[in-house]
Amino acid sequence: MAGSWFGKADVVMDGNFNNYLTQLIIKQKGNKVEGVFGYYFRNGYQSFYIKGTYDPKTRQVSIPDIPVVFYKENSIDGVTCNMSFEGTLRVSKVGSFVRGAFMSEGKYRYTCPELRVLFSLDSLVQEDEAINEGIAKKLWQPSIEDVIVLDDKDGPEIKNAVTSAGNNRSVVKGPTLDANSLTSRFKQRQTIVANEVTVNSDSIRVSFYDNGDIDGDTITVFLNGTPVLEKQMISAKATTIYIKLDPAKEFNDIAMFAENLGSIPPNTALMIVYDGNTPQEVFLSSNLQQNGSVRVRRKPPIK
């Protein structure tokens, strides 16, 4: 069941309605599954951390409590329906598929109609890159809560374009936060490199989720020792920043500083680095003595 799955979810009602282009990034531990559910609808993208179950005998997967925007909304930021996904895994010579449906519960079952979907396993991401690009490049936009991190070297034309595209989203340019105080606290803790990822692009999208119980974990994110996101509570919904990498550095360091430990220590997060449309997952942990960090290296251009 583990892997990256993509599919088109359709509204089960008479008439023509916008569909949802969906993705499940799943990890499996025994009969438990967890990961990220993301979807594109109309003008934007949403993603959420999810947990569920998988029965290897029946090949049934169940994922409860997934917020999906109401099918008649005109914006990704509209009213959501709380839905559950039920599906069945099928494996054949032509590929692996999960056929199922998102369904609302109780009295909202008729207000929020069923969404049927056939997920396909994206087992050859590099060869199948055109599918991902066709979805993301045409439909993705930053959401309201997203933060765009600009470099001091970026010219006014880039800054104006990003601000316009972001539609007044948060734009962080260099150390605009309480940098001195935060940096001092950051340096007092040991920084542990949890992983290293290699990317092709000169800019990346980074999303943080609370990968444990949602218990009030609050973090500050540092890029190369500079705070770029301050005191953000992480949850099942993505907290996303967009970063332009510094080409002069051997690697760029993204570190997570724990502002608290939540109600269940330590402060843990699932961090997903998107290089174009390819996700790379890293699990980070931090406490009041240590920061968790990831080194991001850019792959040398092919000569």
pLDDT at residue 1 greater than cutoff 80: yes
Instruction: Quote the domain boundaries for residue 9.
Output: 3-139
pLDDT digits (tens, 9 = 90+) for 242-257: 888 888 999 999 999 9
What's 65's domain CATH number?
A: 2.40.128.120
Residues 17 and 63 in one domain: yes
Residues 23 and 132 in one domain: yes
Residues 266 and 285 in one domain: yes
Residues 115 and 173 in one domain: no
Whether residue 303 is contained in a domain is answered as no
By 3-state DSSP, what share of the chain in percent is helix, strand and coil, each rounded to 5?
10, 55, 35
Residues 184 and 294 in one domain: yes
Distances (CA, A) of 34 to 111, 139, 204, 236, 286: 28, 26, 24, 11, 21
Nearest to 255 by CA among 271, 240, 266, 244: 271
pLDDT band (50, 70, 90) for residue 163: very low
Residues 293 and 179 in one domain: yes
CB 270 within 8 A of CB 279: no
pLDDT band (50, 70, 90) for residue 302: low
What value does the mean pLDDT take over residues 147-164?
48
The neighbouring-strand residues paired with 191 are 291
Least confident of 64-78, 113-127, 152-166, 276-290: 152-166
Average pLDDT taken over every residue of the chain: 80
Least confident of 120-134, 169-183, 210-224: 120-134
Task: Kindly state the tokens that stand for 192.
Answer: 């542990």
Task: Give the pLDDT score at 54.
Answer: 96
Residues 128 and 235 in one domain: no
Of 110, 139, 168, which residue sits at a domain end?
Answer: 139
Task: Give the pLDDT score at 173.
Answer: 45
Task: Kindly state the tokens that stand for 116.
Answer: 């049927």
Q: Strand, helix or coil at 291?
A: strand
pLDDT at residue 137 greater than cutoff 60: no
What value does the mean pLDDT take over residues 134-140?
35
Whether residue 209 is contained in a domain is answered as yes
More confident site: 136 or 294: 294
pLDDT at residue 152 greater than cutoff 60: no
pLDDT at residue 186 greater than cutoff 90: yes
pLDDT band (50, 70, 90) for residue 277: low
**pTM of the predicted protein model:** 0.66
- Terminal CA-to-CA distance of the chain, rounded, Å? 39
Distance CA 81, CA 83 (A): 6
What value does the mean pLDDT take over residues 202-220?
85
More confident site: 264 or 141: 264
Residues 112 and 212 in one domain: no
Of 139, 157, 179, which residue sits at a domain end?
Answer: 139
pLDDT band (50, 70, 90) for residue 263: confident
Residue 158 sits at φ, ψ, to 5 deg, of -70, -45
Residues 168 and 257 in one domain: yes
Calculate Rg over the CA atoms of the chain: 20
CB 297 within 8 A of CB 284: no
The torsion angle over the Cα atoms of residues 199, 200, 205 and 206, rounded to 10 degrees, is: 0
Of 139, 161, 177, which residue sits at a domain end?
Answer: 139
Task: Give the pLDDT score at 155.
Answer: 43
pLDDT band (50, 70, 90) for residue 129: very low
Q: Three-state SS across 258-297?
A: ECCCCCCCCEEEEEEEEECCEEEEEEEEECCCEEEEEEEE
Task: Give the pLDDT score at 168.
Answer: 39
Distance CA 176, CA 256 (A): 18
Residues 6+ apart with CB under 8 A from 3: 25, 26, 96, 121, 122, 123
pLDDT band (50, 70, 90) for residue 218: very high
Q: How many domains does the chain have?
A: 2
Q: Are strands 3-11 and 267-275 parallel, antiparallel or unpaired?
A: unpaired
Task: Give the pLDDT score at 297.
Answer: 94
Residues 28 and 75 in one domain: yes
Task: Kindly state the tokens that stand for 189.
Answer: 């803790």
